[in-house]
Structure 1
Amino acid sequence: MKATDFKAQPLWQTLGQFPVNWPLFNGKPVPLGGMTVQKFFKDYWHKKPLLIRNAIPEFQAFFMPDDAFDALRDENIETRVIQYDETGWQLSHGPFKKAQLPKRKQSAWTALVQGVDLINAQGHALLNLFRFIPDARLDDLMVSFATDGGGVGPHYDSYDVFLLQAYGQRHWAIGQEKDLSIVPDVPVKILQNFTPDEEFVLNPGDMLYLPPHYAHDGVAVGECMTYSIGFRAPTYKELGIALLNFVEDNIELEGRYTDATLKYQTTPAHLPDAMVNDVYQKLQELKWDRSWVAECLGCYLTEPKPSVWFDPPQMMNFAQFKKQAAKHGVSLVSGTRMLYHAPWVFINGEHLVADGDDAQFLIQLANERISNLKQMNESRWRLLHDWYGHGWLSLNL
């Protein structure tokens, strides 16, 4: 299966200037080279790779090598360094001291910086261009800095990914491997057998989409940076555990175990069959309510990652906040995750029930992530003031 080589159409210079004939989402272009979202989902999503030449024409990297080095030393940012030398593959986790990092001139090493959308406004804007895919699936923007020959080896991801070349060049080899076994006893997941179907070099502005489990190997040609837009694909086991934890807090089973017909026991250590049967029958009263699943998923998928933290502002009293917010409007901060599924609205792992005009207001905020706060009532003001105090939203000053 070959990657379609799709050439972009009109140029746009920055993340803020878009040609009118590009496919749009919420007024922003979808970086699919002029292809419609409908065609992309029908022919490529989860099915086959797509190479888009000049997906973002004249793209200028906004997160450069110096930014990556700063991030590697920051304890609040999730980072890794991967190297390959005569001793094999090596993986280290940040934060790093300067002396612990390879020299920039040293070849064949890679730095990975997670969550760049949380620390860089343009990174957040870039990630938002992919909101034609549900927020429930959108994960984060990861930046890879690599010196000449650097990479993370032939591997596959369990999720969809867009790989945007931002700086320098990277050589990609991709293939639809049937054998996805990995090399044992190696700190990174390297495919044991990798035979690429095709190879190509990406330049700044080029982008490669890969569906889950599609094998790929990217190697830097000189110094380069690649921006990876990744998507969440939790395992059903993870979701099942989350649902069981949710049920623990919401379960309602009346009564208490009794054994009024108990008889004399000659084997007191034996777990009585009657007890097992009684509890089994009682548990049949538990039903997997679809509303439980929706409620649990919303909380689980908006729960901030351990590396995400919110910086509450200098708190304004309610009257001050109301005055400033009415004048300037508010926006969800980059780390805030907000979803909805009637009758719930979910934000950063918490949820509330909303209906009528209140629901419509919160739905609009979740979709647009910004609000000019027209036709507000007291309860909405109070809710936004509370979220502002948590650092979940900010004033558009």
Structure 2
Amino acid sequence: MENKMVVFFFLFHLLPLLLSIAGAHRNPIPATFNVLSYGALPNRITDNTKSFLRAWNDACDRAGGGRVLVPKGTYMLGSVVFVGPCNGPVKFVIEGSLEASSYPSKFFIDHWIAFKYVDRLTVGGGGYLLGHGGAAWHYNDCATNRRCRPLPVTMRFDFVTNSKISHIRSINSKNAHFNLFACYNVNMSNIRISAPSDSPNTDGIHIGSSSKIKIENTIISTGDDCISILSGSRDIMVTRVHCGPGHGFSIGSLGGSHNEENVTGIVIQNSTLFGTQNGLRIKTWAPSLPSLASDIMFDDIIMVNVNNPIFIDQQYCPQPPCNWQAQSNVQIRNVTFRKVRGTSSSQIAVKIKCSKHVPCKGINLVNINLVYRGPEGRVSSSCMNVQGKSYGLQLPSGCL
């Protein structure tokens, strides 16, 4: 009987305790590296770049990873690159506000805050990124000057893998708000992006040469594309994103560079656009080098007063001089627009302008319901050099 009592005590008291201790060793609470402990001062004057870098380096170097904490307050921060690889997962927790420089001597670089070569990175905390774009936008002359100097992207992720970015607010970036390059398996959620509708080149989220990227539950109001997806992008999922003002959801522009990788496996769904310059757009240069954009799905999209709601543009030319006889060599195929509905601010609500050299193939319009109430007449559609089909309700009608 006594032996049974010992066994009973072990099973119900000691065993759970031992298991919890073992679990704690497998999943240790990451050590916290508070930037205040490294000399950071939230006084909006002190340049805290070195303090942030020291905190990052200690968290990154620690076996098992660490947690960089930016407490509440406003911290001036210069251009900085947080570099891996690290010895474990790192959390970068921004509870306060990071403030960029408004001095022109600090502008001409391609990043403000960058993370490079990091695996299992988490960026979040509910804080703010204050880009002070208004001090820099008038320097943006790239539309007319091929030798224009770069302005900093607010937050870059280069060669970042298996990571999460969430609960961050970016305000008035000097260039794009977020840029993902050569990233894999990154989830962005609950992001808030804000810049005026006339702020130049302030793309919300810019994606290139990346795969398995998910963007969800995000609000983007900016002066350029809310989300732009460039060459080399594969398996991109965008869901429950609100865009407006801005230039809409854009794939491209494609075909402007040598050896461009294909774009494939793009899904944009369950999202809304409000008062944007474009809606769902695929754009390629003409003339252009060969590449491919395929297996693209736009599904369950609500539009309110959107110009060019559905737009495939294979003669993209944002600035004159434009050669309207030139043709794109980017093949666009297997693209579906499904359950797209709302109001158009342009009479031509569906515009599919494909290349004579490589006509679009497999374009599907499924249950399209776009209303135009302007002075130019009934809503209409326009299609050129396209092979495809339409199914279900079609307003406007007569395109495919």
Sort the TM-score into its range (normalised by shorter chain).
under 0.3
Normalized per residue, which structure has more strand? 2
Name the TM-score, length of structure 2 as normaliser: 0.21
More helix by share: 1
TM-score by length of 1: 0.21
